[in-house]
Amino acid sequence: MKIALTSDHGGYKLKETIKNLLKELKIEFIDFGTDSEKSVDYPDFALKAAESIMNGETDRGIFICGTGIGISIAANKVPGIRAALCYNIFAAEMSRRHNNANVLALGGRVTGDELAKAIVKTWIETTFDGERHEKRINKISEIEKKFKK
């Protein structure tokens, strides 16, 4: 598994913490930035990292901004991306089991390091249940196709 890792300035510190966790877990990743707490626009970073998932360069992503809200909204505009904003371990588990989320969104200003690491571990380790949930994921894909220009 290769992870697309990205953040804006509000998520930079937590991104660095998660980067260290991924190294400890021996999970390959590409850091799409940002590289400091200097103000940047989260849609730019969400797009670069989401495109890497869409084109198969990476398998999943962890995207972080101040709250996780903006970067998840931006990521979800990219076809095939299912970004789930998770503030707890249960949501992370369900985002994988039921929604096959391929992007985990976190809030760097609202989620502490230890909780974030537990969320990431759960999200990485949890698999998609498939079966009845597969048809729902397919319906999401149909919605994307309906509005694709």
Ramachandran category for residue 65: left, alpha or beta (phi over 0 → left; psi -120 to 50 → alpha)? beta
From 9, 65, 86, 133, the catalytic residue? 65
Active site residue 133: no
Amino acid 123 reads W
In whole angstroms, how far apart are CA 29 and each of 22, 129, 138, 144?
Answer: 8, 24, 27, 27
9 is catalytic: no
| Omega within 30 of 0 (cis) for the link into 17 | no
**Residue among 9, 86, 98, 133 flagged as catalytic:** 98
Strand ranges inside 8-139, DSSP E: 28-31, 60-65, 83-85, 103-107
Known catalytic residues are 65, 98
